[in-house]
Amino acid sequence: MRMEQWIKEEWAMKNKNNGLSLIELLVSVAISSIVILMVMSIIVNSYNNYNINNNKANAQNEINQAMNRVGDCIMEAKALTMESESSVKTSIIDEGEFVDSVGKTIEYDSDNEVLYITHQTSLPTNKSPYMVASDVKSFSISIDSECFNIADDGTFIGYKNPIKVNVSMTIDKRHRRVSYTQSYYIRDKLTTVTVEGNTYTVE
């Protein structure tokens, strides 16, 4: 009897243990699934954050380079023609045996969201456009009001040296928008400035 009782108890214990093992397995699977989902969520968020930061860094880098090129054109100018808020011509007479550049045009193509600098040369191929930046949402350039020459009666009569030019630009790289505003002084003293077809004296 005792042997039979012991066998029954062992059999019952085994059946009980088998049932617990199945429950434990299900719980383990559920916990593992939750952990995996949490890890995947962290990985996806990290990847998205990386893309966001990378796009912003690319936009910042491109706008910095573009503003440096625009600034160089302005600061080196020997003459200045402001055709509009998005198109400016600067005349640069370079000296040197192998230098043929005589002027540059900064121009914003709003339809294609591209900023160009075109080199005006004395060679047969007169224009050599260079794309400075893409995905440009806005671009403006203007002479600062501190350079305005105002008569005693309040009439605008021209400009005063040194000429200060304000440049603003916004670039958007995959929904990461970066804006930049910078002022540049033309190093040389100008005698005239042309703005939208009107030529003004610079004192």
DSSP for 100-134, written as a single string: -EEEEEEEEETTTTEEEEEEEESSSS-EEEEEEEE
- For the ranges 10-14, 42-46, 103-107, which has the lowest average pLDDT? 10-14
- For the ranges 15-24, 86-95, 145-154, 178-187, which has the lowest average pLDDT? 86-95
Question: At 144, is the pLDDT very low, low, confident or very high (cuts 50, 70, 90)?
Answer: very high
Question: At 185, is the pLDDT very low, low, confident or very high (cuts 50, 70, 90)?
Answer: very high
The stretch 29-36 carries a mean pLDDT of: 86
- % residues pLDDT > 70 (the chain): 76
Is 56's pLDDT higher than 90? Answer: no
SS (H, E, C) 130-144: EEEEECEEEEEEEEC
How far is the first Cα of the chain from the last one, in angstroms, to the nearest whole number? 124
For position 182, what pLDDT does the model report?
A: 93
Question: At 2, is the pLDDT very low, low, confident or very high (cuts 50, 70, 90)?
Answer: low
The residue type found at 143 is I
For residues 122 and 90, the model is more confident at 90
Is 165's pLDDT higher than 70? Answer: yes
Is 181's pLDDT higher than 80? Answer: yes
- % residues pLDDT > 90 (the chain): 16
Average pLDDT, the chain: 79
User: Which positions ≥6 away from 109 have C-beta within 8 Å?
Assistant: 115, 116
Question: What's the pTM?
Answer: 0.69
- For the ranges 47-56, 125-134, 164-173, which has the lowest average pLDDT? 125-134
